[in-house]
Homo-oligomer: A and B are copies of this chain.
Amino acid sequence: MVQLGPNRYGKAEVRVVRVARGAAPDGGDVIRDWNVSTSLSGDLAATHLTGDNAHVLPTDSQKNAVYAFAKRLGAVEPEVFALELARHFVDSQEPITRARLSIEEYGWTRVGGRRHSFARDGGKTRTTTVVHDDQLGTSVVSGIGGLVLLNTTDSEFWGFPRDAYTTLAETKDRMLATEVNATWRYRGTEVAWAAAFAAAHDALLAAFSQTYSYALQQTLYAMGEQIIAAVPAICEVRLALPNKHHFLVDLAPFGLPNDDEVYYAADRPYGLIEGSVLADDAPDAGLAWS
């Protein structure tokens, strides 16, 4: 015999753009460009066992709620939006006891000296995930993704164990590059979100650029440590750092030296360093990372 285990459902990747006309300090427009995903859990056994949908608010309705809340709330910080909408689903749907709201935000910068013209910031995204449970409370995990960083020096790698499969040479000077995917857990739900994001972002950049690195793990720990130091509202940081290998090309066959100048940027495989850093007094994470 079998039984139903944990389950959830929702609408993924609702691409909503909210324009707040004239809301910038100089009277220009403000844009929020989001990719919103919703996910609901609760008393959902019947739909799995018999296809009875009496408890299943359609994912299409969830999508519509994203649009309606975008209208109602205006161009707010993504954390505010996610908190409001998560509470809405749990409060308004009796069988639903938990909602998970996740948002990716794409940034835009005004261009051309115009109030209505924008260029999209490439690469990095700001993220947030809110979990709201009617018993277990509310958590906010925000972060940054797709931020590609590189140090041309101040990185070494040596002193590692050598087994039967080790051919790697030690190095006292290497290129260090990574694509930062960082998420951080807030202690509560009353935070100055935009300022906290900016401070965490700056701490992350500072940690990367100022750490003389003997291991990417060391850089990872410095990032977590400095984010927590810079933003007291953050109690935990989780990081996944691919080691985007830049290998020195051997130019000797062509009679040329290569004094740390010409690199091959490899695609795969890549080292992958994952870790977390916690404040000593971090509260239990509960559902934050679920």
- Chain A residues near B (Cβ < 8 Å): 1-21, 29, 31, 33, 37, 39, 44, 47-65, 67-68, 70-72, 92-93, 108, 111-114, 116-124, 146-154, 156-168, 175, 205-206, 208-210, 213-215, 217-218, 220-221, 224-225, 228-229, 236, 238, 242-243, 246, 249, 251, 253-258, 260-280
Contacts and interface: CB of A to CB of B under 8 A. Distances in A.
A149 to B, nearest CB: 6
B114 A51 contact: no
A161 B111 contact: no
Given A214-B50, A253-B167, A118 B13 contact: no
Given A166-B60, A218-B49, A273-B9, A265 B16 contact: yes
A277 B121 contact: no
Contact of A119 (B17, B149, B165): B149
Given A122-B123, A165-B61, A261-B20, A48 B218 contact: yes
Contact of A261 (B62, B71, B238, B261): B71
B208 A5 contact: no
Contact of A19 (B67, B113, B152): B152
A94 B141 CA distance: 35
B249 A67 contact: yes
A233 B120 CA distance: 29
A9 B274 contact: yes
A118 to B, nearest CB: 5
For the complex of A and B, list the 5 residue pairs with the smallest distance between their C-beta atoms, beginning with the closest: A122-B123, A122-B122, A51-B214, A112-B209, A7-B275
A136 to B, nearest CB: 19
Contacts of A260: 19, 21
Contacts of A2: 224-225, 228-229, 277-280
A258 B236 CA distance: 40
Given A44-B217, A120-B148, 16 more contacts: A1-B279, A3-B278, A5-B278, A7-B274, A11-B271, A16-B265, A48-B217, A49-B218, A50-B218, A59-B272, A67-B249, A108-B150, A118-B149, A121-B122, A164-B254, A164-B255
A79 to B, nearest CB: 19
A53 B235 CA distance: 27
Contacts of A262: 16-19, 67, 70-71
B280 A3 contact: yes
A149 B5 CA distance: 23
A159 B54 contact: yes
Given A147-B119, A260-B19, A280-B2, A11 B272 contact: yes
A117 B13 contact: no
B21 A154 contact: no
Given A16-B265, A113-B209, A251-B67, A53 B165 contact: no
